[in-house]
Structure formats: C-alpha cells, structure tokens
Amino acid sequence: MIYLKTNEEIELLRENHLLVSETLAEVGRHIRPGVTTKELDRVAEEFIRSHGAVPAFLGYQGYPASLCVSVNEHVVHGIPSDKVVLKEGDIVSVDCGTFMKGFVGDSAYTFAVGEVGEEVRQLLEVTKEALCKGAAQAKAGNRVGDISAAVQEYAEKFGYGVVRELEGHGIGRKMHEAPGVPNFGARGRGPLLKEGMVICIEPMINMGTRAVVFESDGWTVRTRDRKPSAHFEFGVAVRKDGADVLTDFSIIEKAIKH
C-alpha cells in the first residue's frame, strides 16, 4: 500500500528532513581526525532531542544508536563505537533519522575527513550526483524504474559498483513504507509515481565491486573487496512538475566549508 500525502503531511515530513539536515550539519562540524564515531552519535542524539524530536533509528528493529556511521569500506549501518577513531583521509557516511509530529525524516551524507585522495573525492561527487540524477526522475507519471535506472547508469559510467542488496523506500508516519526504490533497474518499470508520494532515494556506490558482505554484528554492511563506498540519501515529494527535495544538503555544506 502506497500512501499519498496531503500538503500538510508533506510539510511535516519536510520539517523532519530539515531537522535531519541540521543534525548532519552539526555532526559535520565535529568530524575531524581523532574523533570517535560514538562521539558523533552523542552529538546527534543531543541535537535531535534538544529540538523536540526523537532519534528514529534508536531501537528500530533493535538498532542501538541514533546514527549509522560507516567508515571507508563500510557501506551502511555501521554502529557507532568508541573504538572507531576517524583519521585524515577517511570517508565517513552518516545516516540519520528523526521522528517528530507523527512523521519521520531520513537522510545520509558522506563526509571527507580532512584531505582525501582524488579518487575518493570523485566517488563522493559521483554518488551525490547519482542521487540528483535519480531525483530528477521523481515526477508524477514516471515510474520507480526511471529513478533506479538514472542512478545506476550514472554511477556505472564511472566504473563503480552499485549496491543491490539495499534500497530506498517510501517514508511517512513510518520510516520504511512502500514502494522500495532500488538503485538499479529498467526505465518504464516498477510502480507508477503519483503526486503526493514521498520517497527516500539512497544510492550506495562502491569504488570497486558491487558485492557486499553482511558482518557478524548483525548490522554493518561492507564491500567485499574492502574498497571504499559512499552513501547519500534524501527525501523527495513527487509532484506533477518534478521532485520537491525535502532534505537540504546546502545546510550541511555550509557547515563544513572552511
């Protein structure tokens, strides 16, 4: 069942996605060599609660933290730890969710820690651009497959591996609603996109093979070849004239500019 949202509901979803954007910006301000991923989780939880919301990930299917923090070869769902210390040249994918006023927000951004190599810099840029290429298809009358194909085609042009085991999703009163939004697929296939649908698009793009391994902590997903992976996610409302992006990456990018 795909729920279509009213304009009022879309504004509540936007409030959540903007709070997630602000939280990721606050986390970004704390990202530097020497910080632990656990410290980033504390920053996020405190920030979310001080804005009258609840961390949507905490306790979700037993998940133990407010953020997923995935470093280098970790694709998604890295559990914050006081033993994981960021160092210069790392990349760190931070995924964050909020719950407030009956709705959820869910977005992710991959940060560079200090100066990173040119190859890794390109992986970040291409993954973010793949997300935007997908979002450009989030228009009433198109199909989910138009989004999926746009993401896949763009990322594969660079020789990157597109992770297939995890996908984007509808979002609303629940974090995961129908439809699933894969990052690979065929144009013209899949559920029809309608005005008022709200979905999260979230490409996970690997520098090397697309193959992933699910680690024994029950959560962390890593690349099989241990090459780096990037993850960007935002929420979009489907409109007749195109996508209304609910997350604001410019808030994050202003915060980390120096």
List of residues contacting Co ion (CB under 5 A): 106, 200
Task: Please report where in the chains the tokens 């504004």 appear, as a residue.
Answer: 11
Which residue number, 39 or 78, has a Cβ lying nearer to Co ion? 78
By a kind-dependent CB cut-off of 5 to 8 A, residue 57 interacts, out of ligand MF3, Co ion, none, with: ligand MF3
Nearest distance, CB of residue 198 and ligand MF3, angstroms: 13
Angle between helices 7-30 and 249-256 (to 10 degrees): 20
Which residue number, 225 or 252, has a Cβ lying nearer to ligand MF3? 252
Does residue 60 touch ligand MF3 according to CB under 6 A?
yes
Interface with ligand MF3 by CB under 6 A: which range of 6-14, 59-67, 156-164, 236-244? 59-67
Which residue number, 60 or 158, has a Cβ lying nearer to ligand MF3? 60
**Selection from 73, 72, 74, 68 nearest residue 37 by Cα:** 68
Does residue 106 touch ligand MF3 according to CB under 6 A?
yes
CB 207 within 8 A of CB 124: no
Does residue 95 touch ligand MF3 according to CB under 6 A?
yes
How big is the site for ligand MF3, counted in residues (CB under 6 A)?
12
Which residue number, 47 or 57, has a Cβ lying nearer to ligand MF3? 57
- Dump strand ranges (E) for the chain: 54-55, 67-71, 74-76, 91-100, 103-112, 161-162, 168-170, 177-181, 198-201, 204-206, 212-214, 221-223, 229-231, 234-239, 242-245
Coil, helix or strand for 128? helix
By a kind-dependent CB cut-off of 5 to 8 A, residue 90 interacts, out of ligand MF3, Co ion, none, with: none
Among 63, 99, 103, 109, binds ligand MF3 (CB under 6 A): 63
Nearest distance, CB of residue 23 and ligand MF3, angstroms: 13
Does residue 109 touch ligand MF3 according to CB under 6 A?
no
Which residue number, 5 or 35, has a Cβ lying nearer to Co ion? 5
Amino acid at 141: G
Does residue 61 touch ligand MF3 according to CB under 6 A?
yes
> What does each C-alpha distance from 29 to 86, 138, 144, 163, 252 come to in angstroms?
14, 31, 35, 29, 9
Amino acid at 99: F
CB 247 within 8 A of CB 216: no
Interface positions with ligand MF3 (CB under 6 A):
57, 60-61, 63, 68, 77, 95, 97, 106, 108, 169, 233
